[in-house]
Chains A and B, each alone.
Chain A
C-alpha cells in the first residue's frame, strides 16, 4: 500500500503547482480544469443531509471512515467551487481524524484563494471545510467510544 503523505506535504505540492502560474487567469483556468475533472458525486449521495448550504452555489459532501482514515467525496453545481473542493479532497481525504481536525489549510491562503473562504462569497466552501472537520470530530468520538468497549 502506498504510504499516505501528510497534509502539509500535499499542501506544499499544491503551492508549488500554483507557483508555476504567473497570472490569475491561469490560476482560474487550472482550478476550473480541476473542477471539471472531479468525478461527479453519485446521485444517491446528492441528498439534503449531504448538502452544505451556500447562498449562491450548493456543495454536497459525503464521508466514509475506513481503517482509521476518512475518505471524502464531494460535488458542487459551480465549477470553480468544485475545483477548490477537488484540492481540499486531495489534501484531506485519506487522512486520520486527528490530522484533519488540526489541519490549518494554509495552502488556500498561499495560492491566493483566501477570498473564497470569506463570508461574502457565500459559496458554501467555508461551510464545507467546517463540515469536513465536523466529520473528523464525529469519527474521532465514535472511534474512541468503540475502543472503550
Chain B
C-alpha cells in the first residue's frame, strides 16, 4: 500500500530517486523538464500519489466519530501522520502537533490566538527583513489592532541577519519574535537557536517559520527550544493544503481556540461550551484527511532516502551551480551567506527576471522570478526581483548545465 520501501543504496543514486517522481519525466515545450522551483513547491513521489488514491479508492470516510471500519481505518491513517510529524521535528508529544492548511495558517493561528491574547499597546513584535509576507502580515495585523509596534531585524549585504541589531531591539517590551529558519529568497540559514535563547532572556516567545528548512535540514524543536514551529507538507514532497504547527504545551493550553466548529469542542450548550483537548481544540471542522494521510508518505519517503544524504547531494549541486553561474556575464548572486540551503537567487545586469523566466521556460527549465513574496527584502537590495533556482533531492548536475546553457543563450538574446 503506502509503504514504498526504497532499496538501501550506499551511493546516492539520483536517477533511481528520479524514477519515483512521475512529473519529472514529462516534457515542457518539447524539452525534458528541468524543475528548479522547489522552494515554491516540490514534486511528489509515487508513494504520495498512491497514498492519496488509495485513501479515496478504498477507505474514504470522515474521521474520529464514525464507528464503522472505513472511519476507523481513515482515523488511524490520519492520526499516524501526527506521529510521523512528531518524529520528523522531534516534538515531545503527538498532541502538540496541530494540523493546519500550511505555514500561513499556522502563523495566523498563533498571531490570532496567542498574539491577540498577550500583545498589548506599547508592546513590540520582532520579525526579520527577510521574512515571507506570510510572516509579516499576520503580525502587522495584530500590532495594528493592539497598538503594538513591529520591529525588523536588519540584514547585511550577504543576506545574513545582523544579530547585534537584534540584541539592541530586545527589551522588556518585546513580546514575540517570529523569524524564518531559512530564507525562501536567499537560502540563508538563520541562527534561530541563538535568536530563541536571546529572546527568552527578555521573556519573549518565538515562532520559527520552517517552510524552507524542514525539507533540507534536521529539525529538532526541543533542541531549538522553539515556542512555536510551522512547516508545510507541500515543500517536503507531500500534498498541498496541509501543514503542521508545533507549540509548547503550556502555550497551546493557555491559548483560546482559533476557529469554532465541530471537532474542537467537548460539550456544547447555548450558554456554555467546553473545548476539546489538544490538539483537537485547534482543529475545527472536517480536516484535510486525504492530504494529511499522504503527508506521512512524503515524510517516510524523505526519511527513506535519508536527510543527510539528500543534504550532501543538494550542497554539491549548490556549490557546482554557484561556481558555474559566475561565468554568466553581468550575473550577481543575491544571498551569499556562509550557511545556505540549495537556493540561488540572482540578477543579471540589464536583464529583467521575467524575460529570463520566459526564455528559460521555453527551454523546459522552471525557475521562479519576481519578488518571492518578500518585497521588503527586495527593497533592501534595491531590486524589483530576482531569478531563483532552488534544488531538491532529485536534481542533477546535468540539469544545472542545462540552466547555465539556457542562461547564456537568454543573455545573448536579451542584452
Contact = CB atoms under 8 A, between A and B. Distances in A.
B359 A56 contact: no
A55 B414 CA distance: 21
Given A24-B29, A28-B358, A56-B369, 4 more contacts: A57-B352, A57-B354, A78-B354, A79-B355
Contacts of B29: 24
Prevailing SS type, chain A contact patch: helix
A123 interface: yes
Contacts of B357: 56
A29 B355 CA distance: 12
Nearest to B409: A25
Contact of A123 (B354, B371, B384, B409): B354
Contact of B354 (A25, A28, A29, A81): A81
Given A29-B413, A32-B414, A56-B385, A24 B362 contact: yes
Nearest to B384: A77
A124 B362 CA distance: 20
Interface string B371-415: 100000000000011000000000000000000000001000110
B187 interface: no
A79 B370 contact: no
Contacts of B257: none
11 contacts: A25-B362, A28-B359, A32-B414, A55-B370, A56-B370, A56-B385, A77-B352, A77-B384, A78-B352, A78-B355, A79-B352
B354 A80 contact: yes
A97 to B, nearest CB: 31
Contacts of B359: 28, 80
A25 B358 CA distance: 11
B353 interface: yes
Interface residues of A, number: 16
A123 to B, nearest CB: 6
Interface residues of B, number: 17
A18 to B, nearest CB: 15
Q: Which 7 A-B pairs have the closest CB atoms?
A: A78-B352, A56-B354, A78-B354, A56-B370, A57-B354, A80-B355, A78-B355
A78 to B, nearest CB: 4
Contacts of B413: 28-29, 32
Nearest to B412: A29
Nearest to A36: B414
A29 B362 CA distance: 12
Interface in A1-59: 24-25, 28-29, 32, 55-57
Contacts of B370: 55-56, 122
A122 B355 CA distance: 12
A77 B351 CA distance: 9
A122 B384 CA distance: 14
Q: Which of B353, B354, B369 has the most CB of A within 10 A?
A: B354
Contact of B414 (A25, A57, A79, A116): A79
Contacts of A56: 353-354, 357, 369-371, 385
Contacts of B358: 28, 80, 116
A126 to B, nearest CB: 14
A58 to B, nearest CB: 8
A24 B362 CA distance: 7
B228 to A, nearest CB: 30
Contacts of B354: 56-57, 78, 80-81, 123
A57 B369 CA distance: 10
A77 B29 CA distance: 26
B348 to A, nearest CB: 12
Q: Which of A24, A25, A79, A81 has the most CB of B within 10 A?
A: A79
A28 B371 CA distance: 24
Interface string B339-370: 00000000000001111011100100000011
Nearest to B357: A56
Contacts of B353: 56
A28 B362 contact: yes
Contacts of A28: 358-359, 362, 413
Contacts of B414: 32, 79
Contacts of A80: 354-355, 358-359
A103 to B, nearest CB: 24
Interface string B221-253: 000000000000000000000000000000000
Interface string A75-91: 00111110000000000
B247 to A, nearest CB: 34
A56 B352 CA distance: 9
Interface string A100-130: 0000000000000000100000110000000
Interface in A54-78: 55-57, 77-78
A113 B370 CA distance: 20
A123 B370 CA distance: 10
Interface string A125-144: 00000000000000000000
Nearest to B358: A80
A79 to B, nearest CB: 5
Contacts of A116: 358
